[in-house]
Amino acid sequence: MQQANVTAKKELKDDAVNKVTYIKTEQLVSDTYYFKPGQVLDYHRHPTGEQIFFVHEGEGTYYTDDGKEEKTELKAGVIVLAPKNVWHKIVAKSTLIVSQATHQPAGFEKK
C-alpha cells in the first residue's frame, strides 16, 4: 500500500513552487505542491486528464480560464476541479499546501 502524510514535512523552496509526487500508477498520480507566500503555479492545462485539487493548509486563489477567467478562494478543506483541457493556475497568499489527483495520461501544456 502506498501512503503519504503531506503536511508532516513542509517541503518549501525559495526559487519555485515545490511539487512532490507521492503516489503514481499507470492511471492516477497524486502530487503535492508546497507554496511560499506569493508563489504561483502558472496557467497550464491537461488536454486528456481531469485533475482535482485538495487544500490542506494556507490560503490562495485558484483561477480557471475557459474563455472567461473565474476564481475561487482557497483555504484548508476546499476542493476544486480542473476539467481536462481547461487552463488553471494557483496563487498563494500564505504558505499553502495543495495536493492533486490527476487521471493519467493527462498531457501538459503551458499558456
Quick: pLDDT tens for 5-59: 888 778 899 999 999 999 999 999 999 999 999 999 999 999 999 999 999 999 9
**CATH code at 46?**
2.60.120.10
In a domain, 84, yes or no: yes
The x, y and z cell numbers of residue 83, run together, are 476539467
pLDDT in tens, 68-104: 999 999 999 999 999 999 999 999 999 999 999 999 9
Query: In this structure, is residue 67 part of a structural domain?
Result: yes
CA 36 to CA 26: how far, in whole Å? 31
CB 82 within 8 A of CB 74: no
Q: Which ranges of 1-111 does DSSP label H, i.e. alpha helix?
A: none
Partners of 64 in the β-ladder: 70, 88
Distance, in Å, from the CA atom of 111 to the CA atom of 109, rounded to the nearest integer, reads 7
Of the candidates 95, 86, 46, the one whose C-alpha atom is nearest the C-alpha of residue 63 is 86
Residue 47 domain-assigned (yes or no): yes
pTM, rounded to two decimals: 0.92
Residue 8 lies in a domain: no
Q: How many domains does the chain have?
A: 1
84 lies in which domain range? 18-102
The reply to whether 56 falls in a domain is yes
Is residue 71 assigned to a domain? yes
